[in-house]
Chains A and B, each alone.
Chain A
Amino acid sequence: MFRWEKLGKVFTPQEVKGRSWLKEFAQAPATLLFDDFLRVYFSCRPPADENGQYVSYSAYVDLDRADLFKVRRVGERPILSLGGLGEFDEFGIYPVSVIRNGGEVRAYYGGWTRCESVPFNVAIGMATSRDGGETFSKLGNGPVLSYSPDEPFVLSGPKIRRFNDTWYLWYIAGRRWKRVDGRAEPVYKIRMASSSDGIHWNKVNKDLIENRIEADEAQASPDVFYANGKYHMFFCYRYSSHYRGKEKGYRIGYASSTSLIDWVRDDAKAGIDVSEEGWDAEMISYPHVFELDGNTYLAYLGNQVGRHGFGLAVLHGKLE
């Protein structure tokens, strides 16, 4: 089992003032390293509208590289504007995954639209920054990864990586909408695509991670990290119904692979679980692993899927 030492919550969106689009939530942390700070992208929400519905924006917070608990700056504006009327990302840009590509930074993001029979649909968009990740412009008004025969809806949670000169995108794809107490709840599984340019993608069309807790287990945030001769994936999973509380809510799982396509799940190895009490006592989700100055860190969300921010854990020992 990996030994993660929890360091506590590093960012609390409620403490940020003067941004109408940022009231609560700091979801799906994704890091980009600079000389003297660590930029963490996250997704947040303004207050719900009169119908109780939210939109999501994505932004960043810069943490001091020497002391990650010191917030140096929060972006003045969202990194992307929401899509226009009828476009795939009209009602939310969440989550975001970033990667450097030469002098540019690319962001892959889930774009949210609202539907009539189910609450939403999601497809994956791409945007590029030429100012070091402060502002981004979209590749187009439509998605870069969309629905296909085996992936009919809810393509979300992108995690962009590049290994051996090939682009890889891990993401989730909806399998079915399940009616629970009159509400449509999405079941989604971890999937993958590869590309030579990051724009034209070949889907593997396969569930990468076997189910453990139930057939309709929902899996998210497939965060892949290479270390010590193999690929490590931390992800989160939950039950398909009544998952908004502690009992059936998100936990963090683990799998490893040497091929990138065949994965062996071993949640017992993940080494991080809910706390006895506090901000992450009910659920933990949206893991993101990164290396910084000789340490390996895990950023993750706590209760209510990041409503009150994200925290960090540091690894003792190696990922192997």
Chain B
Amino acid sequence: MKWNKLGKIFDPTQHKLPNDCVQFAQAPQALVFDDFVRIYFSTRSVDKRNGKYLSHIAFVDMRKNLRDVVRVSDKTVIPLGGLGCFDEHGIFPMNVMRHGDSVYGYTCGWNRRVSVSVDTAIGLAISRDEGLTFQRIGDGPVLAASPHEPCLVGDGFVKVIGGVFHMWYIFGTGWKRSSADAPPDRTYKIAHAVSSDGVQWVKEEARQIIADRLGAEESQALPTVIGIDGGYHMFFCYRQSFDFRTNKERGYRIGHAHSDDLANWERDDDNPLLDVTPGDWDSDMLCYPHVFECDSEVYLLYNGNEFGRYGFGLSVLER
């Protein structure tokens, strides 16, 4: 298997976005319709009270050639959470999945802390209008911290397989400072939970399902899973936990693992490898992958440099 890069397909700075958002189209997530593909992403506004970012969900509808933009959402897809709620300061990302006549949106909600910058948890919001708007099932999350997953539960990706809801997600193993005067940075790993209804989840409680390539200080994020020819393939991104924002050598890359039983995963980042392209929009960083099938092709949406400040691109799998 081999990824064939199709280039950047969406640049948020070329469109008017709802909620006064400018820049960033992060963590693209596809919902395939008969004659178009709706791609949700997280974009950002600036919190006027303190100049910090707020992440909002928006979408772009594209023709199935995945080149032509039909429209960009002009309304709020899902409002941010209320005062003191887990998703008060951002939703990034939101994984979407059809279930019956509804679309389930699994949100990663962000709330700001004092000693560390943020904590996250996973919420559920449901759309009954084909994904135009989503309503939360409650003000709180469906998956949050637990005894051995102490912080930063987020990045849920959900698929129903054999009648069981599977969620791949990340949990924080802790916060550390790289030096005494540095702000704390976090490390997180990929985990798995199951559910019979998509609401009540049973975790494996801190079982890291993907082996580290960079050692204990590897952070793994945004798992996405697809079945191909009877096996399962997971793509995710990984990086060093410190000095990863501007140091190209320590920043995000795309990882891969495969499994036959959804329990044991074998990491194999090189087959297929998605690598940076020197001089291009994804020369320094590759992150936030989302794999999906459309008209018998397997595609990978992902972000490039600067965590997706200038949009996302696409690759197609050659088999």
Is A bound to B? yes
* Residue in chain A with minimal CB distance to B88: A117
- A227 on interface, CB distance cutoff 8 Å: no
A152-B140 contact, Cβ under 8 Å, with A86-B115, A115-B114, A143-B146 = yes
Measured in the bound complex, the distance between the Cα atoms of B84 and A146 in whole Å is 14
A142 close to B113 (CB less than 8 A): no
* Residue in chain B with minimal CB distance to A153: B84
* Residue in chain B with minimal CB distance to A200: B202
- B234 on interface, CB distance cutoff 8 Å: no
B184 close to A146 (CB less than 8 A): no
B139 close to A149 (CB less than 8 A): yes
Within 8 A of A (CB), among B105-127: 111-116, 119, 121, 123-124
Shortest Cβ gap from A145 to chain B (Å): 9
A-B contact count (CB 8 A): 131
B: number of interface residues (CB 8 Å):
42
A152 close to B139 (CB less than 8 A): yes
Measured in the bound complex, the distance between the Cα atoms of B115 and A121 in whole Å is 13
Per-residue A-contact encoding for B19-37, CB less than 8 Å = 1, 0 else: 0000000000000000000
Per-residue B-contact encoding for A164-194, CB less than 8 Å = 1, 0 else: 0000000000101101000010100000000
**7 tightest CB-CB pairs across the interface, nearest first?**
A149-B138, A140-B147, A152-B140, A142-B150, A116-B112, A86-B175, A114-B114
Please indicate the chain B residues that have their CB under 8 angstroms from the CB of A116 in the complex: 89, 111-114
* Residue in chain B with minimal CB distance to A115: B113
Measured in the bound complex, the distance between the Cα atoms of B111 and A177 in whole Å is 15
* Residue in chain B with minimal CB distance to A141: B150
Measured in the bound complex, the distance between the Cα atoms of B115 and A83 in whole Å is 12
Binding site for A on B (CB under 8 A): 81-86, 88-89, 111-116, 119, 121, 123-124, 136-142, 144-152, 172, 174-177, 184, 186, 199
Shortest Cβ gap from B116 to chain A (Å): 4
A153 close to B85 (CB less than 8 A): yes
Within 8 A of B (CB), among A77-132: 83-88, 90-91, 113-118, 121, 123, 125-126
* Residue in chain B with minimal CB distance to A139: B147
* Residue in chain A with minimal CB distance to B186: A86
B146 close to A146 (CB less than 8 A): yes
Measured in the bound complex, the distance between the Cα atoms of B136 and A152 in whole Å is 12
Please indicate the chain B residues that have their CB under 8 angstroms from the CB of A148 in the complex: 138, 140-142, 144
Measured in the bound complex, the distance between the Cα atoms of B121 and A148 in whole Å is 10
- A147 on interface, CB distance cutoff 8 Å: yes
Please indicate the chain B residues that have their CB under 8 angstroms from the CB of A88 in the complex: 145, 150-151
* Residue in chain B with minimal CB distance to A89: B150
Measured in the bound complex, the distance between the Cα atoms of B145 and A83 in whole Å is 14
* Residue in chain A with minimal CB distance to B50: A116
A142 close to B86 (CB less than 8 A): no
Please indicate the chain A residues that have their CB under 8 angstroms from the CB of B113 in the complex: 86, 113-116
Please indicate the chain A residues that have their CB under 8 angstroms from the CB of B145 in the complex: 88, 123, 142-143, 146
Choose among B112, B142, B176, B186 the residue that contacts A115 (Cβ–Cβ < 8 A).
B112
- A144 on interface, CB distance cutoff 8 Å: yes
* Residue in chain A with minimal CB distance to B173: A141
Shortest Cβ gap from B172 to chain A (Å): 7
B114 close to A147 (CB less than 8 A): no
- A151 on interface, CB distance cutoff 8 Å: yes
Measured in the bound complex, the distance between the Cα atoms of B145 and A140 in whole Å is 11
Shortest Cβ gap from B108 to chain A (Å): 14
Please indicate the chain B residues that have their CB under 8 angstroms from the CB of A320 in the complex: none
Measured in the bound complex, the distance between the Cα atoms of B115 and A174 in whole Å is 22
A152 close to B184 (CB less than 8 A): no
* Residue in chain B with minimal CB distance to A202: B200
* Residue in chain B with minimal CB distance to A205: B138
B114, B141, B148 — which one has the most chain A CB atoms within 10 A of its CB? Answer: B114
A149 close to B175 (CB less than 8 A): no
A86 close to B151 (CB less than 8 A): yes
Please indicate the chain B residues that have their CB under 8 angstroms from the CB of A140 in the complex: 146-148, 150
A85 close to B116 (CB less than 8 A): yes
Shortest Cβ gap from A147 to chain B (Å): 4
Measured in the bound complex, the distance between the Cα atoms of B119 and A140 in whole Å is 18
Choose among B115, B121, B151, B186 the residue that contacts A147 (Cβ–Cβ < 8 A).
B121
B147, B176, B199 — which one has the most chain A CB atoms within 10 A of its CB? Answer: B147
- A150 on interface, CB distance cutoff 8 Å: yes
Please indicate the chain B residues that have their CB under 8 angstroms from the CB of A114 in the complex: 113-115
A-B contact pairs, 8 of them (CB 8 A): A86-B115, A116-B111, A117-B111, A147-B121, A150-B140, A176-B83, A177-B82, A177-B84
A86-B174 contact, Cβ under 8 Å, with A114-B113, A147-B121, A177-B83 = yes
B112 close to A149 (CB less than 8 A): no
A117 close to B142 (CB less than 8 A): no
Choose among A87, A149, A179, A186 the residue that contacts B140 (Cβ–Cβ < 8 A).
A149
* Residue in chain A with minimal CB distance to B151: A86
Shortest Cβ gap from B189 to chain A (Å): 14
B199 close to A149 (CB less than 8 A): yes
* Residue in chain A with minimal CB distance to B52: A116
Please indicate the chain A residues that have their CB under 8 angstroms from the CB of B115 in the complex: 85-86, 90-91, 113-114
